């Protein structure tokens, strides 16, 4: 392809390798062609990437289109498999292996797991399509509101098309999630209208745009309420069977490229980490108050929280700024001087599935990318919600979500030119890096007092419990109620938060075990590199190499650290902050 401009965005690819083979270009052309098809078919995904040609449109979510997308990916898989790796450069072989990993895993989820047939997500997906348009400042607010109106005008047909996927009995607990999203989306739409009526910072929104938006919001609300009625009709005939089953679960683990670890080996890691972190938490509590029962110490720490949720948001901002400054002062990792992150309240439609906090990565091709760090005020308006935003936890969560966790990792990953890496998501690295960051920062002396180590261990206990629950729930060994009780027992979470957590595990098999497993694998990789490099090992260089190479499975990171698939030095626009 000679024209690599795509909807005003120039698509990228790795620079030619020193040993480049003529077939390298053909491989990258194939990857780019498939990427174009994927993005053109999914306008919301295009927006998340920072490709804004279709910001006023929604995708076709029908069953027919979903099956066509699966067939499209099958054809692409066959075409990539047909390329002889021996005729590619070493760097292109690495990219081919990664492309095959991504495709095989995606197709297994689509063709075998088939959650899309059993979980109605039209309302949630609509909210997700609006979220980046409203929260990211890539264009003037009036322009973004106009695009939002366009997507909302398409909402009635979009929601009806979603129903065609439901050829299997819908899982009841997943229907309840969607009912919650449908209940919470209208207030989010009202926030959008309010921003149009009283825009911030003196921005003016023309009356025709506001009028169009109001009409679109009212029509979308009516469509959402109609969707709730349709969902309600599915409840009686719904299914309570959500477990993946041992055989399919094991195959999913194999495709995740966990260095050969099977479910039993991962479960053993979970139990061992659960015990180890309980002991670390008890030891830290004794340092803080030697004669008090642990439960009393934890209660006192949780009582030390901001007085209001707005004050909590500011505390999260302060904590992440302190963490960023510490990284630079201690020279622990290269921090780009142009990265940005904002902390906001979790949109109402997401609060039932994000009970604490989450992060949305910067758009790769936006002119000034910004990460969005969301914090949930409460689940079901629970009166004890602020207790989960205690200061020690705020510190730990801000390390995980912002610096040097998700935000820094994903802001740097977005600079890699590979379109394959733009699409690959390896939770054991992304989430594992977040948890690794928590421990590394304490090792280096950031917020290392006992109360912070209690929060660190509490969050590690939570993630160890996730390993146990992820495996045992999908093997059919634990019900949701039993899993919720297990989580409350080990973490002390408020019950609504614990239940929201457990409900998410039912439709994300193998994702939630990735957090602590990824941390364990990363610590092991760090030890390997220390032994391999000896006196030449640098913690900053290790961190920089991991972040520069993107969101790869850790098994691929190991290969990259040994020289495979590396971009030219300086090719990612990194500069040291000062």
550 belongs to a structural domain = no
Peptide bond into 562 cis (omega under 30): no
157: pLDDT confidence band, cut at 50, 70 and 90?
Answer: very high
For residue 567, how far is the Cα from the chain centroid?
25
Q: Say what the pLDDT of residue 388 is.
A: 82
Both 376 and 411 in one domain: the answer is yes
Adjacent-strand bridge partners of 375: 345, 357
pLDDT number for residue 380: 59
For residue range 491-533, list pLDDT tens digits in order.
888 788 899 889 999 999 999 999 999 999 999 999 999 999 9
- The DSSP secondary-structure symbol of 16 reads P
Residues 162 and 278 in one domain: no
The verdict on residue 557 lying in a domain is no
Whether residues 149 and 283 fall in one domain: no
* Structural domain contains residue 558: no
**pLDDT at res. 381:** 61
pLDDT at position 566 is 67
538 falls within a domain: no
Q: How far is CA 37 from CA 64, 82, 384, 524, in A?
A: 16, 20, 47, 38
Radius of gyration of the chain (CA): 24
Is the pLDDT at 573 greater than 50, yes or no?
no
Query: Are 216 and 149 a contacting pair, CB within 8 Å?
Result: yes
Nearest C-alpha neighbor of 126 from the set 171, 90, 156, 87: 156
Domain of residue 426 covers 246-521
How large is the average pLDDT for residues 253-260?
93
Residue located via tokens 């670890």: 261
Q: Does 44 fall in a domain?
A: yes
Structure tokens given for 25: 């270009």
**Nearest C-alpha neighbor of 514 from the set 245, 268, 270:** 270
Beta strand 9-10 pairing with 341-345 = unpaired
Whether residue 5 has pLDDT greater than 60? no
Last residue of a domain, one of 212, 235, 258: 235
Which residues neighbour 526 within 8 Å (Cβ) at sequence distance 6 or greater?
Answer: 542
> What pLDDT, in 10s, does the model give residues 131-152?
999 989 999 999 999 999 999 9
Residues 227 and 251 placed together within one structural domain of the fold? no
Residue 331 burial (CB count, 10 A): 11
Instruction: Give the percent of the chain with pLDDT over 90.
Output: 83
Q: Per-residue pLDDT averaged across 56-84, rounded?
A: 98
pLDDT at 292: 92
Are residue 225 and residue 373 in the same domain, yes or no?
no
Does 241 reside within a domain?
no
For residue 533, tell me if it sits in a domain: no
Clarify whether residues 44 and 187 are in a common domain: yes
Q: Specify the 3-state DSSP secondary structure of 335.
A: coil
Both tokens of 510, joined, read: 């193998």
Residue 550, classed as helix, strand or coil, is coil
Residue carrying structure tokens 């909402």: 155
Give the separation between CA 524 and CA 521, rounded to whole angstroms. Answer: 5
Region of poorest pLDDT, from 100-109, 466-475, 503-512, 566-575:
566-575
Which comes out higher in pLDDT, residue 8 or 264?
264
Q: Are residues 261 and 202 in the same domain?
A: no
> Helices 207-235 and 172-197: crossing angle, nearest 10°?
170
Which tokens hold the place of 108?
Answer: 């297994």
For residue 343, which phi and psi values (nearest 5 degrees)?
-110, 125
> Does pLDDT of 20 surpass 60?
yes
Mean pLDDT across 368-397 = 83
Q: Please enumerate, as own/partner, the contacts of 525-530 that have beta carbons within 8 Å and a separation of 24 or more.
A: 525/554, 525/557, 525/558, 525/561, 528/558, 529/561
pLDDT at 569: 39
Domain count, the chain: 2
Amino acid 538: pLDDT: 97
- CA distances (Å), origin 492, targets 59, 309, 417, 507: 41, 21, 43, 23
**Domain annotation covers residue 555:** no
Task: Kindly report, residue by residue over 289-345, the tens digit of the pLDDT.
Answer: 999 998 899 889 989 999 999 999 999 999 999 999 999 999 999 999 999 999 998
Instruction: Look up tokens 């309570």; give the residue.
Output: 240
Q: Are 440 and 466 in contact (CB under 8 A)?
A: no
pLDDT at residue 568 is higher than 80: no
Instruction: Check: CB of residue 140 under 8 Å from CB of residue 121.
Output: no
Of 442, 368, 445, 361, residue with least CA distance to 408: 361
The residue from 202, 235, 268 where one domain ends is 235
Judgement on whether residues 210 and 290 belong to the same structural domain of the protein? no
pLDDT at 351 over 80: no
Q: How far apart are CA 252 and CA 273, in angstroms?
A: 23
Query: Which pTM value belongs to this model?
Result: 0.92
User: Residue 206 — φ and ψ, nearest 5°?
Assistant: -60, 150
Q: 48 vs 44, 93, 515, CA distance in Å?
A: 6, 28, 23
| Cα(351)–Cα(183) distance, integer angstroms | 11
CB 492 within 8 A of CB 298: yes
Pairing of strands 5-6, 9-10: antiparallel
Instruction: Give Cα 410 distance to the centre of its chain.
Output: 10
Cα 32 to Cα 10, 248, 295: the distances in Å are: 11, 31, 55
* 195 and 283 share one domain: no
Residues 387 and 294 in one domain: yes
Tell me, yes or no, whether 330 and 438 share the same domain: yes
Together in a domain, 222 and 253: no
Of residues 476 and 202, the one with the higher pLDDT is 476
- pLDDT tens per residue, range 170-183: 999 999 999 999 99
Domain boundary among 195, 213, 235: 235
Among candidate residues 324, 393, 392, 383, the one with its CA nearest the CA of residue 356: 393
Choice between 91 and 569, residue whose per-residue pLDDT is larger? 91
Q: Give per-residue pLDDT as tens, 411-464.
A: 999 999 999 999 998 999 999 999 999 999 999 999 999 999 999 999 899 999
Residue 58, phi then psi, degrees to nearest 5: -115, 160
Q: Do strands 341-345 and 371-375 pair parallel, antiparallel, or not at all (unpaired)?
A: parallel
Mean pLDDT for the chain overall: 92
């Amino acid at each position: 392809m000679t024209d690599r401009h795509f909807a005003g965005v120039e698509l990228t690819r790795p620079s030619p390798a020193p040993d480049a083979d003529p077939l390298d270009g053909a491989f990258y052309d194939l990857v780019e062609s498939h990427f174009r098809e994927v993005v053109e078919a999914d306008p919301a995904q295009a927006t998340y990437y920072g490709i804004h040609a279709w910001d006023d449109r929604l995708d076709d979510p029908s069953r027919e289109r979903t099956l066509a997308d699966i067939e499209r990916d099958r054809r692409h898989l066959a075409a990539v498999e047909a390329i002889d790796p021996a005729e590619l450069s070493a760097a292109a072989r690495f990219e081919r292996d990664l492309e095959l990993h991504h495709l095989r895993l995606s197709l297994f989820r689509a063709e075998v797991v088939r959650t899309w047939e059993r979980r109605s997500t039209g309302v949630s997906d609509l909210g997700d399509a609006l979220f980046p348009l409203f929260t990211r400042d890539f264009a003037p607010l009036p322009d973004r509101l106009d695009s939002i109106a366009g997507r909302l005008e398409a909402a009635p047909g979009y929601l009806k098309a979603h129903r065609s996927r439901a050829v299997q009995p819908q899982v009841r607990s997943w229907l309840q999630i969607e009912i919650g999203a449908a209940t919470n989306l209208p207030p989010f739409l009202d926030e959008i209208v309010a921003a149009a009526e009283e825009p911030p910072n003196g921005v003016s929104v023309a009356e025709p745009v506001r009028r169009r938006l109001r009409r679109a919001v009212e029509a979308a609300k009516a469509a959402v309420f109609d969707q709730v009625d349709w969902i309600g009709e599915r409840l009686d005939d719904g299914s309570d069977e959500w477990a993946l089953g041992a055989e399919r679960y094991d195959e999913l683990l194999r495709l995740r490229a966990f260095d050969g670890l099977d479910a039993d080996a991962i479960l053993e890691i979970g139990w061992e980490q659960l015990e180890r972190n309980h002991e670390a938490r008890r030891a830290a509590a004794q340092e803080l108050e030697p004669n008090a029962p642990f439960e009393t110490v934890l209660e006192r720490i949780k009582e030390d929280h901001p007085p209001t949720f707005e004050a909590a948001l500011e505390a999260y901002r302060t904590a992440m700024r302190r963490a960023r400054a510490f990284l630079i002062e201690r020279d622990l990792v290269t921090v780009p001087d142009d990265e940005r992150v904002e902390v906001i309240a979790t949109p109402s439609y997401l609060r039932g599935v994000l009970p604490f906090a989450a992060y949305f990565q910067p758009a790769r091709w936006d002119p000034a990318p910004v990460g969005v760090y969301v914090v949930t005020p409460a689940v079901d308006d629970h009166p004890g919600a602020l207790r989960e935003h205690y200061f020690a936890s705020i510190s730990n969560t801000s390390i995980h979500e912002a610096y040097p966790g998700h935000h820094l990792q994903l802001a740097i990953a977005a600079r890699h030119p590979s379109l394959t890496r733009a699409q690959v998501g390896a939770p054991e690295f992304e989430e594992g890096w977040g948890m690794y960051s928590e421990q590394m920062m304490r090792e280096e002396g950031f917020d290392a007092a006992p109360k912070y180590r209690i929060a660190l261990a509490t969050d590690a206990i939570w993630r160890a419990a996730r390993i146990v629950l992820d495996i045992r729930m999908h093997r059919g060994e634990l019900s949701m109620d039993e899993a919720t009780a297990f989580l409350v027992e080990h973490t002390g979470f408020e019950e609504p938060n614990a239940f929201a957590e457990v409900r998410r595990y039912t439709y994300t098999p193998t994702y939630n075990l990735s957090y602590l497993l990824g941390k364990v694998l990363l610590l092991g990789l760090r030890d390997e590199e220390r032994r391999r490099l000896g006196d030449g090992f640098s913690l900053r260089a290790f961190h920089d190499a991991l972040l520069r190479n993107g969101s790869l499975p850790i098994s691929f990171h190991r290969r990259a650290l040994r020289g495979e698939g590396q971009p030219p030095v300086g090719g990612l626009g990194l500069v040291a902050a000062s």
